Amino acid sequence: MSTDPIFHLALAADWAAARAAGEYAVSTRGRTLGDEGFVHASHADQWPGVRERFYADVTEPLVLLVIDPDRLTAEVREEPVPGLDETFPHVYGPINLDAVVETRVVPQ
C-alpha cells in the first residue's frame, strides 16, 4: 500500500451482510451511509478511542476493517469532527469489498 490504511469498526453481522451484498454501507453504529452521507473511518491511532466512545457497551462481535484508500472507489475526505481537535477520514460512498485488505476480530 502506498497510502496508510484507514480503519472502520463494524459489527461482525454488518460485515457479513456487506460481504453478501457486495459492498459495505454502514456509517457508524446504528446509522447507514444513507443516514449520514458518508462512512466514518479512523487512522491507526484513532480507532481505539472510537471504540471506547461509541462501542464500549456493545456485546456482539466487532471486527476492524483495514481499508486501503487507494483501492476505494468512493472519495475519502479528511474532515474535522465537532468537539475534537483532530480530523478523521470520511468515505463518501459505500466501501467496495476489495478495498478491505484485512479484517481483525476486536476482543470484547
Neighbours of 100 (CB within 10 A): 22
> Average pLDDT in the 55-64 region?
95
Q: pLDDT (tens digit, 9 = 90+) per residue, 70-88? A: 999 999 999 998 888 999 9
- Spatial distance between the Cα atoms of 106 and 108, rounded to a whole number of angstroms: 6
Q: pLDDT (tens digit, 9 = 90+) per residue, 1-45? A: 458 999 999 999 999 999 999 999 999 999 999 999 999 999 999
Picking from 62, 53, 37, 101, the residue whose alpha carbon sits closest to that of residue 25 is 37
**What pLDDT sits at residue 1?**
45
> Average pLDDT in the 61-74 region?
97
Q: Which residue ranges form the domains of the chain, and what is each CATH number?
A: 6-106 (3.20.170.20)
